[in-house]
Structure 1
Amino acid sequence: MSNWLQKYGRHYSETVKIGVPIVLGQLGVVVVGLVDNIMVGHFSTADLAASSFVNSVFNIPILFGLGFSYGLTPLIGQFFGRGNKFRVGGLLRNSLLANLMIGVLLSLIMGVVFLNVHRMGQPEELLPLIRSYFLLQLASLVFVMMFNSFKQFADGITDTKTSMWIMLSANVLNIIGNTILIYGTFGLPALGLTGAGISTLASRVFMFVAFAVLFFRRLSYRRYLVGYRRTAYNSGDLRVLNRMGIMVGLQMGMETALFSISGVMIGWLGTVALAAHQVVASISTLGFMVYYGVGSAVSIRVSNFYGRGDIASVKRATMAGVHLLALLALTVSIFFLSVRGHIGLVYTSSGEVVDLVAVLMVILVFYQFGDSLQIIFANALRGVLDVTSMAVISFIGYFVVALPVSYICGFVLDWGIEGVWTGYPLGLTLTGIMLCCRFYYFIRKKNLKPFSPTSP
């Protein structure tokens, strides 16, 4: 035990120290939608089902955008590890431009989706609710992307608390706005799901504006601000950021797409199935973001060690993350099993939805270990800049394996929503195993070199 603690103890403590604020901040990404679902679920089941569809669709661009911005973190982390704060500021400047362009592109794509939402097989009575909420989510995409640049910059320099406090403050703002606008208080009309959308938009605008003000005015950021102001927009930084960001964004976006596409398929089964799927998927996303917060801490530490050429610490930091997430997955699984029969009541009073949620929670437990495994090794590969293989492996696990299995079990074998969910444990666990093998293959074969921003 003493040898074990001597080997991993420092890595545990440092990962937790960096990771806890990231976990709390990551929860802020999904808690906005989670709170919307809970509050609109008590307003009406129709509003909950419409929220389910829109949030499932928007999880793809939002988490792709988050993943795209994650490409900045290991680049920042390696320069920070080498003490080059001027380059950190320059990367942030170019990252803001790259994220703005991606945000506009995602908005245009989702605008096309909005024009075709009536063709996606959703219940006709939900379309008016879906359209209004969809437009409000669309308006917030660019603000989410711009905030992500600041957040990943701060995470890369190990300042993980600033993002946490901003996101928690935004959640408080969102809850207050929901209370006023969903149910109608202070003489205002009850807007239901539309009110939730307005509140979400306001909270996301607040996050970007708050961080921008802090960056330009906080004394501790001055050394990075010099690099920000003196670095011109340039194709070299943009090329590296885009290459890193697109691969990481695809990896995160594909897992989200797995749940979102299957969510569209579940919509073919009716409102009750769609509402139950949204409840359990939102719980799953909550767990995913907790795991990803720890994974992000591993990525930051791995990128710092990788920039210094310390291969032994790269491996130990990664394995410490595996240990921490295995313990967390076990704890989460026990909790899920203990509350599975009652947790649906938090979202809705519909007995049919609550019973179906209890069934899906069992399947949710089956993929906790696989999900945590693929998150750790995806982030470890991100930390050593091996992002292309990470994206390819994720494509195989999610789209070649999980999604076809979901469709076959759900509709060909006619197992319904339980069949659709059967594909998740298989796809996520297989992805985790493949990413683990790739990481250790990379570590054995890669000769560490001094970091170059144009040739990772």
Structure 2
Amino acid sequence: MKQTWNKKEKLQQFLVIFIPIFITQIGMYSMNFFDTMMSGQFSPNDLAGVAIGSSLWVPIFTGLSGILLSITPIVAQLIGANNKKEVPFSVIQGLYAAITLASFVLIIGGFVLEPILSRMNLEPTVHMIAKNYLIALSFGMIPLFMYTVLRSFIDALGMTRTSMMITLLTLPINFVLNYLLIFGKFGFPRLGGVGAGYASAMTYWFITIIAIFVIYRNRPFSNFHVFRTFYLPSFKKWKEIFTIGVPIGLSIFFETSIFSAVTLLMSEYSTTVIASHQAALNFSSLLYMLPLSISMSLTIVVGHEVGAKRFNDAIEYSWLGVSIAIVFSSILGILLFIFRESIAMIYTDQQEVVHLTAQFLMFAVFFQLSDAIQAPVQGALRGYKDVNVTFVMAMVSYWIIGLPLGIILARTTSMAAFGYWIGLIVGLAAGAVTLSLRLFYIQRKKYQALKA
């Protein structure tokens, strides 16, 4: 990254970083999108099973891998402060932490998966698909967590186009493996939704191996000698990673897990309702990649500016990102409302599921504006390394306001399953307001410190 002197230069530099991140996020999410869409084409039971499995997997992965996203602000501020010698050591410690976290999840999952699924009121077929889908995914858990660290390092250098190219290289692999293993083509076993889990796990290995090769061989990454010096695990560095990363991971977990909690609560409804809810949520999550990508970009640019003590530039970048998110998310929300029936038909041709999915998508329109504010604001706050208060705000907004309201509306009014979605909308809106106030406070605090 380079220093910018006016809003035009900031916009140009921000877009250079943002566009590859956005394409990368779309590519990464497309794996889950393909899992859901192609499983739905196989059967409603497979769609429901993958929906339940994803609802358990996504908050675990996003929450724990969110801890590893601390590598981005750590490296960004080291680069901004021109302290490059510490970078390879930080990355290697991040990889050690990634392997440890993934191993922890695998061990705990082996004990709790069956009891959790057994407590849910699932049809036997859906129960078995969800369980085997998660077991299949587990084979790719360690490389996926490692890739989170490697990608955070790449992005922190401002080389987001590299992450994009790595993801685009592996995306066709995932699609082909899904096609072969879900539908049993060319002599491969016909595994349905479970095949999607194996396809994703194999893809995670490919993407991690490619990232290691690029960092080892290509400049500017090879200049840091990340894999050419052996470092013992440093619990002091782990403390820094977890001190910054745990609040980030918890913030992400509180946001993603509320969607998963709603899906699990919906297990009391029919398979049609579960499948429709998951299809609508899956597409809404795809649209969320826009504000999420802006959030990740803001962490990089704000982190660089804060590291260089250019606090005014950090403020300008923060609100530039929020403005871009609001404009584009509003456009996507309008398009979602207009084409909701056509979107629903991507997932299934069963009219009952299509009709119900289109209804859920109407509520998803309101997700867009709240996400357009709260996600970029969180990204800016991470650039400041302000993460502790953020996760408390996220917990209150989503779990103390949003989810209880959704339960009340779903169980005491005629809204039924739609009541949960209204609760989600209110929780996201509360998060957008409180996080924005926090960003104003931090920016004013930094500005006053600069003047002093």
| Superposition TM-score tier, normalisation by shorter sequence | over 0.9
For the 8 Å contact 1:85–1:223, the answer to whether it is kept is no
Equivalence for 1:304:
304
Deviation readout 1:252-297 (Å, 9 max, x if unpaired): 1111100000000112111011101111111121122221111111
For the 8 Å contact 1:306–1:448, the answer to whether it is kept is no
Could you say what secondary structure the match of 1:385 adopts?
A: coil
Equivalence for 1:241:
241
Rounded Cα–Cα distance in structure 2 between residues aligned with 1:331 and 1:362: 14
Equivalence for 2:183:
183
Rounded Cα–Cα distance in structure 2 between residues aligned with 1:448 and 1:296: 26
Equivalence for 1:3:
none
For the 8 Å contact 1:107–1:142, the answer to whether it is kept is no
Q: 1:125 to 1:180 in 2, by over 3 A?
A: closer
Q: 1:202 to 1:414 in 2, by over 3 A?
A: same
Equivalence for 2:293:
293
Rounded Cα–Cα distance in structure 2 between residues aligned with 1:410 and 1:17: 44
Q: 1:45 to 1:267 in 2, by over 3 A?
A: same
Deviates more, 1:165-174 or 1:253-262: 165-174
Deviates more, 1:437-446 or 1:213-222: 213-222
Could you say what secondary structure the match of 2:183 adopts?
A: coil
Deviates more, 1:312-321 or 1:58-67: 58-67
Rounded Cα–Cα distance in structure 1 between residues aligned with 2:215 and 2:83: 18
Equivalence for 2:85:
86
Deviation readout 1:393-412 (Å, 9 max, x if unpaired): 00010001001011111123
Q: 1:178 to 1:260 in 2, by over 3 A?
A: same
Equivalence for 2:53:
54
Q: 1:411 to 1:84 in 2, by over 3 A?
A: same
Q: 1:226 to 1:427 in 2, by over 3 A?
A: closer
Q: 1:252 to 1:118 in 2, by over 3 A?
A: same
Rounded Cα–Cα distance in structure 2 between residues aligned with 1:285 and 1:330: 15
CA RMSD of aligned residues (A): 1.9
Q: Give aligned pairs, total.
A: 446
Code of the aligned partner of 1:106: V
Code of the aligned partner of 1:34: F
Equivalence for 2:169:
169
Q: 1:410 to 1:225 in 2, by over 3 A?
A: same
Code of the aligned partner of 1:35: F
Code of the aligned partner of 1:90: F
1:373-412 aligned at under 5 Å gives the runs 373-412=373-412
Equivalence for 1:347:
347
Deviation readout 1:421-447 (Å, 9 max, x if unpaired): 111111111101101101111122247
Equivalence for 2:18:
19
CA shift for structure 1 position 8: 2.6
Q: Does 1:29 align with 2:41?
A: no
CA shift for structure 1 position 231: 4.8
For the 8 Å contact 1:93–1:228, the answer to whether it is kept is no
Deviation readout 1:322-366 (Å, 9 max, x if unpaired): 111011111111110111122111001111111111111111111
1:244-283 aligned at under 5 Å gives the runs 244-283=244-283
Q: 1:125 to 1:230 in 2, by over 3 A?
A: closer
Rounded Cα–Cα distance in structure 2 between residues aligned with 1:281 and 1:77: 33
Equivalence for 1:453:
none
Rounded Cα–Cα distance in structure 2 between residues aligned with 1:222 and 1:194: 38
Equivalence for 1:9:
8
- The sequence identity of aligned pairs, in percent, is 25
Q: 1:226 to 1:129 in 2, by over 3 A?
A: closer
Could you say what secondary structure the match of 1:179 adopts?
A: helix
CA shift for structure 1 position 135: 0.4
Code of the aligned partner of 2:83: N
Tell me the TM-score normalised to structure 2 length: 0.95
For the 8 Å contact 2:302–2:314, the answer to whether it is kept is yes
Equivalence for 1:330:
330
For the 8 Å contact 1:92–1:228, the answer to whether it is kept is no
1:94-133 aligned at under 5 Å gives the runs 94-116=93-115, 117-133=117-133
Rounded Cα–Cα distance in structure 2 between residues aligned with 1:11 and 1:219: 25
- Unmatched tracts of structure 2, length 5 or more: none
Q: Which stretches of structure 1, 4 residues or longer, exceed 6 Å deviation after superposition?
A: 447-450
